[in-house]
Every structure is written in C-alpha cells, then in structure tokens.
C-alpha cells in the first residue's frame, strides 16, 4: 500500500465534467523526505536517485500567483507527510493556508493543470 495525500484539483485547463469538479488528485509520498516552497508552488523531494547526482522531486503547481503556497504551507505539508507515512491508508486532503473559497475568489488556490500539470524532474538537491 502506498501512502497518499490528496490535493484539491480544479481542472479548468483540461476540462472535467460537473460531477467531478472541485475534487482531488492524490500524490504518493512514500520516500518523500522534504518539502520546499518557491514562487508560490510546493516541491516534494524524494530519496529516489535519478543518476548524475540528482534526485526526484515533484512540483505541486498552484494557481494564485507567487503567494499561493506559503513557506508555512511547505512545513505543514512536510508534517502531514510524516504523519501519513506512519498511517498508510489515511489519504488526508491537504489544503493551502489561504484556500478559503469565497464568492469573489472561488477555488483560487487549487492545483491547476499546467502543461504539464505537474513537473517531475531529476533535479539536484
């Protein structure tokens, strides 16, 4: 069983049917050991080596600009990852601190499909 965390996903770039709007997609966090924040996005770092001194990381690409994901969100996500790694099957949902939809800005801080939806790279750590 993989350890997974669910993230709100609002596929406005690649459409979803109304039945599935504002639901979640999940990320396998087995082997994740760190989370960093940059430009409003979060990066989950894995222990998997990718060759040439690089390791695996997954970008959680949020809409909402540079302030979408905060540094404190990275810390909260890392804390949640540690919890989930000890409780496989729990599959909690992680939301950003500022993910409080209002009538004026509904679903503003959900994961958005870019091209690609999420970048996966063997970047140096």
Partner 1 sequence: MGYILVPIDKNQPLAVAALNNAAKATGGGTVTGTGASPATAIAAVSGSGSGASVTVTKGGSDSIATATITVTVAGDNYSIGDVVSIPAITGGSATKTSAVALYTIVDGDLVGDTGDQTIPAEDVLFAMPNDDDEVDLITRNWNSGTGAGANAAVTKYTIKVTGGSAISDEGDLAYDADGALVKESQGHLVPEIVWNSAVIDSGNSGLSVTYTD
- The footprint of partner 1 (CB under 8 A) covers 1-4, 6, 9, 11, 14-17, 19-20, 23-28, 30-31, 46, 48-52, 54, 56, 58, 88-89, 91, 113, 116-122
DSSP characters over 75-114: HHHHHHHHHHHHSTT---B---TT----SSSTTTTSB---
**Residue 84 Cβ vs partner 1, minimum distance, rounded to whole Å:** 9
Residue 113 contacts residue 38 (beta carbons within 8 Å)? no
Residue with smaller CB distance to partner 1, 72 or 90: 90
Shortest Cβ 13–partner 1 spacing (Å): 8
Q: How far is the CB of 43 from partner 1 (least distance, A)?
A: 13
**111 touches 68 (CB < 8 A):** no
């Amino acid at each position: 069983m993989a350890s997974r965390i669910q993230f709100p996903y609002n596929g406005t770039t690649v459409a979803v049917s109304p039945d599935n709007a504002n639901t979640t997609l999940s990320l396998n966090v087995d082997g994740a050991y760190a989370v960093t924040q940059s430009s409003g996005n979060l990066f989950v770092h894995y222990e998997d080596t990718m060759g040439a001194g690089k390791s695996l990381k997954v970008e959680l690409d949020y809409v909402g600009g540079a302030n979408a994901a905060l540094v404190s969100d990275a810390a909260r996500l890392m804390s949640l990852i540690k919890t989930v790694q000890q409780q496989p099957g729990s599959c909690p949902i992680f939301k950003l601190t500022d993910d409080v939809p209002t009538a004026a800005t509904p679903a503003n801080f959900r994961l958005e499909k870019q091209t690609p939806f999420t970048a996966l790279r063997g970047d140096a750590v």
